[in-house]
A and B are shown apart, each in its own frame.
Chain A
Amino acid sequence: MTGDSGHELRRRASQQAAVAELGQRALAGTDLDELLREVCEAVARELAIEFASLFELTGDGRALLVRAGHGVPSGVLGGAVASAEGLPGYALRADGPVVVRNFADEERFRPSDIQLDLGIVSAMAAPIGTRGRHFGVLAAGSPDFRSFSGDDATFLQSVANVAGAAVERARADDLVRDSERRFRELADSAPALMWMTDPDGHVTFVNEGWLRFTGRTLEDELGATFGSSAHPGDREALLDSWASAMAGRDEFRAEYRLHRRDGEYRWVLEVGVPRYEAGEFLGYVGTATDIHERKAMEEALRASEHTFRELADHAPVMIWTTDAEGLVTFVNRGWLDFTGRSLEEELGATWDLGVHRDDARAVTADWERALAARSGWEREYRLRRWDGQHRWILERGAPRYEGGRFAGYVGSATDIHERRTMEERLREVYEREHRIAETLQRSLLPERLPLIEGIAMAARYLPAGHGEAIGGDWYDALELQDGRVALVVGDVVGHGLRAAAAMGQLRNAFRAYALVESSAAEVISRINRLAVSGGDDTIATVLLLLLDRETGELSYTSAGHPPPLVIGGDEARFLDEGRSVPVGVSEAGVFREATAVLEPEAALLLYTDGLVERRDTPLDQRMDELSRVAQRGGQGLEELCDRVLAGLLGPGERGDDVALIAVRAEVAPVLRISVRLPAEPAALLGLRRRLARFLHAAGASEAERYEITLAISEAAGNAIEHAYGPGDASFQVEAVVEAGELVASVRDTGRWRESRGAHRGRGLTIIEGIMDGAEVVPEDGGTVVRMRRRLAARVPA
């Protein structure tokens, strides 16, 4: 081994160690800016090179900002170069490391201003992130000639990959923060008491409802305060069960007395579930429900049952007998004391004497039926007491025989009024608690569907009709940047707060993924990875459908979900392709996508299995019924929802919750556009779709549609290009067709500037050449471009 190669090996080892160390720092959640600085330092150190800089691609992808650097003058930090130019731009396009031996001989691109200023002779650059998701570029430069090896380039790319991982992690953290913020907004408007903790069990959040209830401030409630407002007598048991739930990260459930602001302790039912993001345990989220009334009643009921047994033992029992014809032949003293009547009054055909009007018919019918069958009975009804009050009594009757011959009945009755009333009130309280759970579920669903231009929608959610079960069904609709509309309907397996929480998480994840992915199958794949890695065994069936309003083209993926129904004029059909397993089942799940075309005026119905599944009927038969009911009757979407629910569920209890959403591309022509859009290039595609729809409705020819769309988009493109910074700027587009003339305006908050470079003025040339009139004027601190164009008269077909 020569001395040189020994030196070389040591250098490689040192570089590898540097990459590994940066990787660990990235995983440890080091502050992003600090980490990016360390990245630059490591590059400079390991390559023994003067300059290292890290460029970040701006939100619109047009420029690279110097986010961190080593050796570069402070004035360079925060400076920008165009993303299409220079070595950094070239590295982005190459999607791999690029080496420049000497800028003087470079033909692939021109050096950027920064390179010229620093007098860089040799350089390397590597992209951060993968194609389509580039974050920026990592570059190293030397003012002296350097001959970089392939290993040097590999090292730079490895460091860039670490930086990419750190950025991705930081963005994921942002996403978590964002979803927590949304949860807080939701929680504060929810009727229930809600809280969150960190992984150590410290309270990090309680909602407005909680603060209103306890009368304490947010500061009082945060930190190591779990259980501090519990009744001293309940505290120990509460903390024990909390500790054991925490230890196993299990669902937590406890009933205890919570201190209310007025000093009273109220019974609450507290339920907490562990929450995870990308597989990491983040703490608990929970709710508390006031169950004081129920608890008090259960207490009273137990007490009254006790009293009842005592009373029954001592109270005069009410006894009567009848003959074989059913005529009353005897009542005892106890009965007479109760009714306050004389024995004479009670004898004979007196079965409904003193019986409450609402119970009389049933009592008589029961009695006649029992008599005919000579069977015994037991029933509860209201009987008038001597003081005029109708009291609930429990009456039992048994046939009696004398010498083997039926001789009539002997019966006894007891006053159960207190218990019966208590039970009724208890049932009411249970029902109210169920309604609270249901409200919580509804509050997790979009309160009303978003208004999406060119689409009519109607939706329903029906909770399961029993117990405290909150289901995991949901629906959602949102408009994507490319102008398509995403429709989602899903069903998390299981019930209760856990399913509702998982549902909330999936729903938010869908919103996020649908905005960044363009294919239904890809969105579902990501959701699947999230569900599988979540660690809380979330399994859900989901249908995602992307609809192009303009063409009616649909693409959809069903993860184990019942197929959507298309309802045309006189036929209905299921879209039953694109089927895969539910999400959360297997990490290796492969999700297929199918396409279809929605005919103009046809309606789409998405639903959950609660609508079609019934134990006593085969699924095929229920699907046929759905299809039949859906196409029978009017075409209004609200009416369609009501008809389908009434036709398939009928009266009685539902065993499962049901969500459904009906959609139709609107036929009403859009003859005016007024829309504010973010000043981002991605907004252009959606704008073109809107304009195309609008111009089509206005009767413009194909060439007119293209030309006018182009002119308005050029004005919009200028607004976007010269917006004051990514993210916070927007522009306004108005267009209307009146008397055969299109009048449009694009308004922004900046100055009109033509693109720099050799093609100066092309945007304005196009606008002026295409439109009959165009003017660019400053207005209200911004610029407005006004345009008009007369549409050619259409020859009637």
Chain B
Amino acid sequence: MTTAADVAVELHGATVVARLAGEVDMTNAGYVHDQLVRAVPNGASALVIDLTATRYLDSAAIALVFDLAKRLRRRRQALRIVLPAGSPLERVLTLTEVGSVAPIHSSLESALAG
């Protein structure tokens, strides 16, 4: 019962888009982290994490985003997040200042445009 979350990856040019569906908590944050790290080849310019279908994130999931941002920064790759306006997750991402390491966009088009 460790994977209540599902990671689907697709390439848009040099940008990797990872759609995160389901729930991420301390039981599966390690797995999701692993999937996301594997999804980004050295040649990619950016990773976009799409949270449109994400129903739950806890502090372990937020920590994962910070860790990922640091990792990508070392490799000079950008990290951006897609969160539709009005998402229930909005307040928590603001509170934890996720935007400071990964700019939050309200649509995939905007995130792809950088």
Contacts and interface: CB of A to CB of B under 8 A. Distances in A.
Interface in B27-44: 27, 30, 34
B56 A688 contact: yes
A519 to B, nearest CB: 11
Contacts of A765: 95-96
B1 interface: yes
Nearest to A768: B95
B66 A717 contact: no
B60 interface: yes
Interface stretch (A344-352, A364-372, A609-617, A678-686): A678-686
Interface in A673-723: 681-682, 684-685, 688, 702-703, 705-707, 709-710, 713-714, 717, 720-721
A482 B5 CA distance: 13
Interface in B63-105: 63, 66, 88-92, 95-96
Contacts of A684: 25-27
B62 interface: yes
Interface in B48-70: 55-60, 62-63, 66
B95 A706 contact: no
B23 interface: yes
* Dominant secondary structure of chain A at its interface with chain B: helix
Given A703-B88, A707-B91, A717 B60 contact: yes
Interface in A46-105: 61, 83-84, 93
A762 B26 CA distance: 13
Contacts of B55: 706
A714 B58 CA distance: 7
Contacts of A758: 66
Most buried by A among B23, B62, B92: B92
Contact of A706 (B26, B59, B88): B88
A765 to B, nearest CB: 6
Contacts of B89: 706
Contacts of B30: 83-84, 93
Contacts of B107: none
A481 B2 CA distance: 11
Contact of B95 (A132, A757, A766): A766
Contact of A681 (B26, B88, B90): B26
B4 interface: yes
Interface string A505-530: 00000000000001000000000000
B27 A681 contact: yes
Most buried by A among B2, B25, B59, B96: B59
A762 B89 CA distance: 15
A685 B27 contact: yes
B29 to A, nearest CB: 9
A237 B55 CA distance: 70
A703 B27 CA distance: 22
A710 B92 CA distance: 9
B56 A710 contact: yes
Nearest to A714: B59
A709 B91 CA distance: 13
A709 B60 CA distance: 15
A534 interface: no
Interface residues of B, number: 25
Interface residues on A, range: 35 or more
Interface string B10-23: 00000000000001
Contact of B66 (A713, A755, A759): A759
A132 B27 contact: no
Contacts of A763: 59
A375 B8 CA distance: 88
B62 A706 contact: no
Contacts of A709: 56
B34 A762 contact: no
Contacts of A721: 26
Given A684-B25, A685-B1, A685-B4, A707 B59 contact: no
Interface in A589-638: none
A465 interface: no
A80 to B, nearest CB: 17
A684 B63 CA distance: 18
A769 interface: yes
B25 A682 contact: no
Contacts of B57: 710
Nearest to A762: B59
A94 to B, nearest CB: 9
Interface string A226-257: 00000000000000000000000000000000
Interface in A750-797: 755, 757-759, 762-763, 765-766, 769-770
A597 B57 CA distance: 26
B95 to A, nearest CB: 4
A93 B32 CA distance: 11
A682 B88 contact: no
Given A682-B1, A717-B59, A759-B63, A688 B92 contact: no
Contacts of A755: 59, 63
Contacts of B58: 710, 713-714, 717
Contacts of B63: 755, 757, 759, 762
17 contacts: A482-B4, A682-B27, A685-B23, A685-B25, A688-B25, A706-B89, A710-B56, A713-B58, A717-B59, A720-B26, A758-B66, A759-B63, A762-B96, A769-B91, A769-B95, A770-B91, A770-B95
Interface of A: 61, 83-84, 93, 132, 481-482, 518, 681-682, 684-685, 688, 702-703, 705-707, 709-710, 713-714, 717, 720-721, 755, 757-759, 762-763, 765-766, 769-770
- The list of the 5 closest CB pairs from A to B, nearest first, reads A769-B95, A706-B88, A703-B88, A681-B27, A762-B59
Interface of B: 1-2, 4, 23, 25-27, 30, 34, 55-60, 62-63, 66, 88-92, 95-96
Given A707-B91, A713-B25, A770-B95, 10 more contacts: A132-B2, A481-B1, A703-B88, A703-B91, A710-B57, A717-B60, A759-B59, A762-B59, A766-B95, A770-B92
